[in-house]
Amino acid sequence: MADQDEQILQSSDETTMARPQRWAQPFDPDMSDADVESLTKNALFKDVDATKFPKHIPFEGILRNDTRIVKFSPGEIVVREG
């Protein structure tokens, strides 16, 4: 019986990989503090209660790391793939 248990343990060896950190690479590495502040004052976000977000995923962190600002000229047609 001990030999069988040893064989099971030997065959169940697993290789694990390190999990990437959530914000190891921001969506837009050029997002600045001024950009984040500007977004929080934008009509779309100004009424968001940042205190409702968990401390490990703050609202400002989401804006800084999961968004980007793209500027377009008047009259441009914007098509988004996906």
Per-residue pLDDT of 7-44, as tens digits, reads 555 555 677 777 778 888 999 999 999 999 999 999 99
Residue 12 domain-assigned?
no
CA gap 6, 35 in Å, rounded: 58
Residue 4 domain-assigned?
no
Structural domain harbouring 82: 22-82
* Residue 35: CB atoms within 10 Å: 16
Question: How high is the pLDDT of residue 21?
Answer: 83
Distance of CA 71 to the CA centre of its chain: 22
Which residue is it, tokens 């929080």?
Answer: 40
Question: How high is the pLDDT of residue 78?
Answer: 92
Residue 35 domain-assigned?
yes
pTM of the entire predicted model: 0.67
Which has the closest alpha carbon to 67: 29, 20, 37? 29
| pLDDT, averaged across the chain | 87
Residue 29 domain-assigned?
yes
CA gap 37, 42 in Å, rounded: 9
Question: How high is the pLDDT of residue 11?
Answer: 55
Domain count, the chain: 1
Residue 31 domain-assigned?
yes
